[in-house]
Amino acid sequence: MQGNIRSFLVNSDVAKASRSFVCIRLLTYENKGEYEYMEGILGVRAGTLPNTVFCVLAPDGKTKLTRSGRGPFQAFSNAPAMASSLDLISAKYPRANQSAFSDLQLPLVHKVDVALNTAACDNRPLVVTVAADKKKLAEVDGKILPLAWSADFAGQFVFSSTTERKDLRPIAGAGDASAILIIEPGTFGVSGKVMAQLDAGASGEEIKQTLAAALKDFTPQVKSHNAHIQTGYNLGIEWETVVPESDAQSVRAKQSFKARQQGRP
């Protein structure tokens, strides 16, 4: 029986097996190049990409190692089967060095506002690094890098960075000298509040302790899908994507909801 995406990805064996892979959290409609790349992976007609895509690819980023589809349930019969298959695949592509961070980067969402929205969607805290220029920003990011990929924190935060303090305007409590901010996203991902912040001189141990404390204090919001959407529309909140949404099912659902709001059949 098919499950949903969550039933696969929260499975402990799947999570363990996935550590041998580069797991990419796609943003679907926020980058035209990424959008077109996913169209190719899924093999759909141009301009019809759905809002979820799943596939396991070889290191060349092109060769499909599983069936592509809207979710893992189209490639695997169940979560245990997925975990087993991932283990078999990873055995064919051994890593040269399992401990080096030289070829890793922070898994950054490219814009702070998109990262804030992503964090709200994923129900995770957001870490934003900020500095006056790219060189200083790289130094701050370098302190967080090994922690972001560590067993304690991998997958637990959404990350973004900026050299523009104006990008922090939707975030309440950001200090003028802060270089690292840990943020609780608002319900609809258009605002947030600072849970903790550190300056550029913070040590790796200080950053580690602050991340651990914030993660412990963070409480994911419980949301009802339909009620969440209705409340958002009632408040006039609607996210405008870079690439127009092309998931036919989602577009029809929005049009139907708006028609009901306006009293149309």
Is residue 3 scored above 50 in pLDDT?
no
**Side chain identity at residue 164, one-letter code:** E
Quick one: pLDDT at residue 264?
Answer: 61
Is residue 205 scored above 60 in pLDDT?
yes
In a shared domain, residues 121 and 212: yes
The predicted-structure confidence for 78-107, as pLDDT tens digits, reads as follows 999 999 999 999 999 887 655 555 567 899
pTM: 0.85
Domain containing 201 — which CATH number? 3.40.30.10
In a domain? residue 97? no
Render 166-193 in DSSP notation, one character per residue: GGGTTEET--TT-SEEEEEEPTTSS-EE
Q: How many domains in the chain?
A: 3
Is residue 265 scored above 80 in pLDDT?
no
pLDDT band at residue 257 using 50, 70 and 90 as cut-offs: confident
In a domain? residue 250? yes
In a shared domain, residues 206 and 231: no
Contact of 8 with 79, CB cutoff 8 Å: yes
In angstroms, what CA-CA distances link 158 with 13, 94, 103, 119, 121? 22, 27, 20, 6, 11
* Structural domain harbouring 157: 112-217
In a shared domain, residues 10 and 40: yes
Quick one: pLDDT at residue 2?
Answer: 42
Contact of 23 with 17, CB cutoff 8 Å: no
Quick one: pLDDT at residue 118?
Answer: 94
Mean pLDDT in residue range 185-208: 95
